[in-house]
Copies of this chain bind each other. A is one copy, B any other.
Amino acid sequence: MFDLTEDPLDPGPVVEDVRHPGSGAIVIFLGVVRDEDHGRKVRYLEYDAYRSMAEKEMRKVGEEVLARWPAARISVRHRFGRLEVGETALVVAVSAPHRGDAFEACRYAIDRIKEIVPIWKKQVWEDGEAWLEGHPVQG
């Protein structure tokens, strides 16, 4: 499942999406809002997304993972809107028969999400705010 949501993210159901009798290893990644970035205290984050396209690109990341690791299963949730410090912005769960593949596929998926899924975040500090620039997309 590949979903973009405004609701708080719970890793539990994401894990169950990928658990099956052939999966010996499940690796879950949670991207969490940190209280600090480059020495500046973060109050909260605001995520903007091109929603319909973001879900489409998340599915594309899933297809890439399955092309590389055919025995893997993957499920992804990304949140948007306002997120407080300590809240979860991204959950990626990957299962595979063996843990090496599950770890590699999970890292691959995160890297690709950060490269192609059109989502942006604004950091809001005590004394200002800014939209963060990440990866330029290769058109």
A 70-108 contacts with B by CB, 8 A: 85-86, 95, 97, 99, 102-103, 106-107
**6 cross-chain pairs, A with B, having the tightest CB-CB distances, nearest first:** A21-B35, A26-B30, A24-B34, A28-B28, A21-B85, A21-B86
Question: How many residues on chain A are close to B (CB under 8 Å)?
Answer: 32
Interface contact A103-B107, CB-CB below 8 Å: yes
Report the bound CA distance from A68 to B34 in whole Å.
21
Q: Which residues of A contact B (CB under 8 A)?
A: 10-12, 15, 19-36, 85-86, 95, 97, 99, 102-103, 106-107, 110
Interface contact A32-B26, CB-CB below 8 Å: yes
Interface contact A32-B27, CB-CB below 8 Å: no
